Amino acid sequence: MAILEDSDEWKQVKEDEEQKVSLHEEDVGYKETNMDSLWYLDNGASNHMTRMREHFKELDEKVSGKVRFGDGSYIEIKGKGSILIECDDEKQRIISHVYYIPNLKSNLLSLGQFTEIGCKVVMEDDELRLYDMDNKIFMKVARQRNRLYKANLRIGTPVCLLANLKDDTWLWHARLGHLNFESLKSMAQRDLVHGIPAIKHTTQICDVCLIGKHSRAPFPKRAKAGSTSPLDLVYGDLCGPISPPTPSGKKYIFLLVDDYSRYMWVYFLSTKDQTFDTFKEYKKTIENELRTTLKMLRTDRGGEFTSNEFTQYCKENGIARQLTAPYSPQQNGAVERRNRTIMSTTRSLEDITPYEAIKRRKPNLEKLRVFGCIAYAKVPSQRLTKLDDRSSIGNEQGSKVYRLFDPTTQKICNSRDVKFNDEPEWTDFKIENLEVTSEHHDQGTHQNYKEASSDQKWIEAMKVELDSINKNNTWELTTLPKGHKAIGLKWVFKTKKDANGDIIKHKARLVAKGYIQEHGIDFEEVFAPVARMETIRLLLAIAANNKWEVHHLDVKSAFLHGELKEEVYVTQPEGFMKREDNGKVYRLIKALYGLRQAPRAWNIKLDNTLKSLDFKKCALEQAIYTKTSKDSTLLIGVYVDDLIITGTPKKEIDKFKAQMEEKFEMSDLGLLAYYLGIEVTQTGGDISIKQSAYANKILKEAGMIDCNETLIPMDPGTRLTKLTEGTMVNSTEYRSLIGCLRYLLHTRPDLSYSVGLLSRFMQEPKEQHMKAIRQVLRYVKGTKDFGITYKHNEGNKIQGFSDSSYGVNTQEGKGTTRIIFYYGESPISWSTQKQATVALSSCESEFIAATAAATQALWLKRLLSKLTHSKEGKVTIMVDNKSAIALMKNPVFHGRSKHIDTKYHFIRECVEREDIQVEFVSGEYQKADILTKALPKIKFLTMRQLIGVKDLRQSDCD
The per-residue pLDDT for range 343-397, each reduced to its tens digit, is: 333 333 456 778 777 877 777 777 777 776 777 776 554 444 334 444 444 555 5
**pLDDT for 573-631, tens place per residue?**
888 888 788 888 999 998 888 888 888 888 899 999 999 999 999 989 989 999 998 88
Burial class (CB in 10 A: 0-12, 13-18, 19+), 530: middle
Q: pLDDT at position 250, please?
A: 84
- Name which of 647-656, 746-755, 833-842, 946-955 the model is least confident about: 833-842
Print burial letters for 918-938: b (CB count within 10 Å at least 16), e (below 16). Answer: beebeeeebbbbbbbbbbeee
* DSSP H stretches of helix in 826-936: 842-868, 882-889, 906-912
If pLDDT is split at 50, 70 and 90, which confidence band does 954 have?
Answer: low
pLDDT, average across residues 10-26: 32
> Which pTM value belongs to this model?
0.54
- Reference 613, options 662, 542, 672; nearest CA is 662
**pLDDT for 152-161, tens place per residue?**
888 876 655 4
**pLDDT for 764-823, tens place per residue?**
888 889 999 999 999 999 999 999 999 988 788 899 999 888 766 566 667 788 899 999
Q: pLDDT at position 882, please?
A: 86
- What CA–CA distance (Å, rounded) separates 840 from 484? 62
Q: What are the strands of the beta sheet with 2-5, ordered from one edge?
A: 2-5, 65-68, 74-77
Q: pLDDT at position 153, please?
A: 82
- What CA–CA distance (Å, rounded) separates 97 from 629? 89
The answer, yes or no, to whether residue 89 has pLDDT greater than 80, is no
Q: pLDDT at position 219, please?
A: 39
- What CA–CA distance (Å, rounded) separates 105 from 438? 60
- Reference 694, options 734, 739, 744, 737; nearest CA is 744
- The strand pairing partners of 377, in sequence order, are 388, 418
Q: Are strands 137-142 and 642-648 parallel, antiparallel or unpaired?
A: unpaired
Spatial neighbors of 675 by CB under 8 A, at least 6 apart, are: 536, 552, 639, 642, 644
pLDDT, average across residues 739-753: 93
Fold match between 234-344 and 793-921?
A: yes
Burial class (CB in 10 A: 0-12, 13-18, 19+), 228: exposed
pLDDT, average across residues 921-946: 88
Q: pLDDT at position 53, please?
A: 86
The answer, yes or no, to whether residue 110 has pLDDT greater than 70, is yes
The CATH homologous superfamily for domain 234-344 is Ribonuclease H-like superfamily/Ribonuclease H (3.30.420.10)
- Name which of 50-59, 372-381, 421-430, 545-554 the model is least confident about: 421-430
- Reference 585, options 564, 567, 571; nearest CA is 571
Instruction: Tell me what the pLDDT averaged over the chain comes to.
Output: 78
Cα 900 to the chain's mean position, in Å?
45
Domain ranges for the chain, please list them. 2-155, 234-344, 373-441, 457-676, 705-787, 793-921
If pLDDT is split at 50, 70 and 90, which confidence band does 182 have?
Answer: low
Higher pLDDT pick, 732 / 957: 732
The answer, yes or no, to whether residue 37 has pLDDT greater than 50, is yes
- Name which of 85-89, 447-451, 553-557, 639-643 the model is least confident about: 85-89
Burial class (CB in 10 A: 0-12, 13-18, 19+), 161: buried
Q: pLDDT at position 381, please?
A: 44
Q: pLDDT at position 65, please?
A: 85
Print burial letters for 437-463: b (CB count within 10 Å at least 16), e (below 16). Answer: eebeeeeebbbbbbbbeeeeebeebbe
**pLDDT for 858-916, tens place per residue?**
999 999 999 988 888 889 999 888 888 887 777 655 555 555 655 666 777 888 888 88
If pLDDT is split at 50, 70 and 90, which confidence band does 202 have?
Answer: low
- Name which of 29-33, 500-504, 640-644, 751-755 the model is least confident about: 29-33
Q: Residues 26, 130: contact at Cβ < 8 Å?
A: no
Q: 793-921 has which CATH code?
A: 3.30.420.10
Q: Residues 314, 224: contact at Cβ < 8 Å?
A: no
| Cα angle value 741/730/283 (rounded, 5°) | 160
Q: pLDDT at position 21, please?
A: 30
